[in-house]
């Protein structure tokens, strides 16, 4: 496994990612490397464009040890709202207040090519929205109603 470099250059992060048409060894290695990179960076989610790969691939780990590997993820339903602080490994040292749905249902392929649906609530729903946004070049800073100053951190 390799640790990948997390991009912080906004111009690169604005590019749109293409769907995965074939889950080959390269994609599986990408998933492994992304999980390792996310963990080392102490994040709860990482999208492939953040490591310079413009493919619709995401990893999320809200519950330690339970990694969701999402290929071509699509949010198929959302309801409720939650408002809270959010950060991004590509926007280091900053946080902002973002409104997200409280509950989402996401459909994606797993690494074996099976179509699966995942339900997310709270932080998991937030991570699912944040990471799928990355695939379309959207950053949470676009949606933040307020950015927090460093002194707002507890």
Per CB under 5 A, residues contacting Zn ion are: 88
Least CB distance to Zn ion at residue 26 (A):
23
Task: Decide whether 31 or 89 has the Cβ nearer to Zn ion.
Answer: 89
Q: Is 10 tagged catalytic?
A: no
Q: Cβ closer to Zn ion: 70 or 88?
A: 88
- In whole angstroms, what is the distance from residue 109 CA to residue 116 CA? 6
| Strand, helix or coil for residue 152 | helix
The DSSP element (H or E) to which 105 belongs, if any, is: strand 103-109
Is the Cβ–Cβ distance between 48 and 54 less than 8 Å?
yes
Please tell me which residue in 63, 99, 131, 151 is annotated as part of the active site.
131
Residue with Cβ nearer Zn ion (49 or 72): 49
Minimal distance, residue 103 CB to Zn ion, in Å: 20
- CB closest to Zn ion, residue no: 88
Give the pair of three-digit tokens for residue 4. Answer: 């990948």
Task: Write out the catalytic residue numbers.
Answer: 131
């Amino acid at each position: 496994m390799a640790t990948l470099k997390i991009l912080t250059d906004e111009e690169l992060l604005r590019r749109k990612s293409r769907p995965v048409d074939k889950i080959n060894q390269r994609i599986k290695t990408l998933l492994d490397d992304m999980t390792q990179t996310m963990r080392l960076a102490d994040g709860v989610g990482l999208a492939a464009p953040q490591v310079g790969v413009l493919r619709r691939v995401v990893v999320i780990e809200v519950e330690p040890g339970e990694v969701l590997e999402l290929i071509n993820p699509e949010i198929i339903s959302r309801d409720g709202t939650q408002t809270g602080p959010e950060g991004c490994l590509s926007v280091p040292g900053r946080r902002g207040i973002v409104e997200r749905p409280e509950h989402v249902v996401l459909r994606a392929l797993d690494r074996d090519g099976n179509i699966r649906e995942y339900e997310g609530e709270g932080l998991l729903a937030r991570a699912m929205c944040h990471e799928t946004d990355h695939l379309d070049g959207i950053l949470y800073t676009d949606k933040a109603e307020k950015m927090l100053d460093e002194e707002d951190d507890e």
